[in-house]
Structure 1
């Protein structure tokens, strides 16, 4: 009897299993994931998060980040962006203070400054330098689903790429949208 393909663990489960690091590299200028459609539409209509009103923007994702960082896991996110940035990146940038408030470190790298960095073909999360969660996307930015690998070569590629981007990238508090 053929075996069924295994369902990848949830992202939350993978983050909860991380021991020392979780790094995320984002390389797209537009994402169209279902959970962001409403908030992005609201942002486009003029809604903005109020840093002083934490209760209005604190959500389960930020609880998970705070819990993870509280266990001693270092969470870092780097975003490679085209400039001038897309409307979607403006939206992401305007709400990134919430990630930072929860304990995630975030940096931005203009795409022109990434031209000589060997990068994998997909966005990814790398947990503890050993487990890669590829994030596949369709051309319209919709999610194509995750793929998990423990291939040491893939993990090494992602680690090198992330660190090269991180070293050049600008901390969120200093990055000015162009």
Structure 2
């Protein structure tokens, strides 16, 4: 019997204390309608982002005391996609996420996992797999509770978080 891997939404919704997201790519799903709207300067379409379900979820979980952090490790100068993320981060912060940016050159001596991941309550890791173009890979997601893997991810995230720059202070 195959067990389905839960979605990030399900894992974050079920978090009791913490939900940490480690992002290490310079571009993701360039087919995303929000990115396309931003790129094309369609601000009216883009402004609708503030009411999207993800932000509602973040408001829900942070209201019950879950700490949601996102660490973005980025190359500098930043890519177009990272510029998009930077310019649209305010809505995530307004919803309750804490976001830090870590220039890749400052992460060289950190032990980090090989893939982006969600770390839930320091007990569960959901790896996200992407293609070279930044689209979701056919392998999609991988869930683990292996203590050694979880420890690597928690340690890497915490180390990066300490070096990271709060969104309000980071300049691209």
Q: Could you say which TM-score interval applies, normalised by the shorter chain?
A: over 0.9
- TM-score, normalising length: structure 2: 0.93
Partner Cα distance (1:86, 1:158) in 2 = 25
My pick for the range that moved more, 9-18 or 167-176, is 9-18
CA shift in 2, pair 1:94/1:48, >3 Å: farther
- Who is 1:21 aligned against? 18
- Who is 1:65 aligned against? 58
Question: What is the Cα deviation at residue 158 of structure 1?
Answer: 0.5
Partner Cα distance (1:150, 1:55) in 2 = 36
Question: What is the Cα deviation at residue 172 of structure 1?
Answer: 0.5
- TM-score, normalising length: structure 1: 0.90
Partner Cα distance (2:132, 2:52) in 1 = 28
- Who is 1:10 aligned against? 7
Q: Does 1:105 align with 2:98?
A: yes
- Who is 2:81 aligned against? 88
Partner Cα distance (1:73, 1:33) in 2 = 30
In the alignment of these two chains, the number of paired residues is 170
Instruction: Give unpaired runs (5+ residues) of structure 1.
Output: none
Instruction: Give unpaired runs (5+ residues) of structure 2.
Output: none
Give the conservation status (yes or no) of the 8 Å contact 1:132–1:149.
yes
Secondary structure in 1 matching 2:101: strand
Task: Specify which of 128, 134, 137 is matched with residue 130 of structure 2.
Answer: 137
